[in-house]
Homo-oligomer: A and B are copies of this chain.
């Protein structure tokens, strides 16, 4: 039997669970799983319910809208594969991790294409029969370069998500706005430590005993978008910055793939520059 994911976030008030579950009950829908969170400080209610049964999407949406009012955010989605495009530069560990999961049928997504400002990773991507577009920034200013990328991205209808799998260039506000809340990035530090360029060099210089990685949605403040997942590993004085970088790659790829999984499963709410993951 088909399931649907229903994601609701709205102002908290008494009786929400009752009213929403009543509606599911009246539609003769079964609740497969149900998770809620209330941010008491901000009086905000979040609910993710997986329902099964004969879902009349439009009708259910209409009734939820009537119930919850204009200000509620309501998503009803079949758990279908999302369409994603990866952007990379030269490093293959995050890209490769995603490709191997894809090949194994474990990634709940269609990879439409990989775009890079270099050609280094083309031969890897093409092994997996995925189009690889080398859009060099050579001789182009940032806007001109992004214009070419945006055209390529827009040539794909129904693009759901852009995954920056170690794409090492800063994006312009205009680009970010065009794909608002659709871009996930992996940053190679435990943000907010070591924002910006060369975080491993920064970490080495500071003499930290842990390094980490952060997957986040991209907004227009560099490395300051809503954090989805983070993790860290221990290092010690014997790691120079290149060894930190090497060790960090294993954290980066797992953190990015975890964040991507949450996004592909419709489990993320973005709110107040944070994420709620149900």
Q: How far is the CB of A211 from chain B (nearest CB, A)?
A: 10
Nearest B residue to A127 via CB reads B127
Residue contact A190 to B192, C-beta cutoff 8 Å: no
Q: Is A238 an interface residue (CB 8 A)?
A: yes
Q: Is A208 an interface residue (CB 8 A)?
A: yes
Nearest B residue to A17 via CB reads B21
Q: Is A14 an interface residue (CB 8 A)?
A: yes
Q: Is A145 an interface residue (CB 8 A)?
A: no
Q: Is A147 an interface residue (CB 8 A)?
A: no
Classify the secondary structure of A's interface with B.
Answer: mixed
Residues of A within 8 A of B (CB): 14-18, 21-22, 24-25, 30-41, 91-93, 96-97, 99-101, 103-104, 106, 124, 127-128, 190-194, 206-210, 212, 226-232, 234, 236-238, 240, 246, 250, 254, 257, 272-277
Q: Besides A32-B40, A33-B38, A237-B276, 10 other CB < 8 A contacts?
A: A18-B21, A40-B240, A96-B103, A99-B100, A192-B206, A207-B272, A209-B227, A210-B212, A232-B232, A250-B257
- Offer 25 A-B interface pairs, CB within 8 angstroms, sorted by A: A14-B30, A17-B31, A17-B34, A18-B18, A21-B21, A22-B22, A33-B38, A34-B36, A35-B36, A93-B101, A93-B104, A96-B99, A96-B103, A96-B104, A97-B97, A97-B100, A100-B100, A127-B128, A191-B208, A192-B208, A207-B227, A207-B274, A208-B230, A209-B230, A212-B232
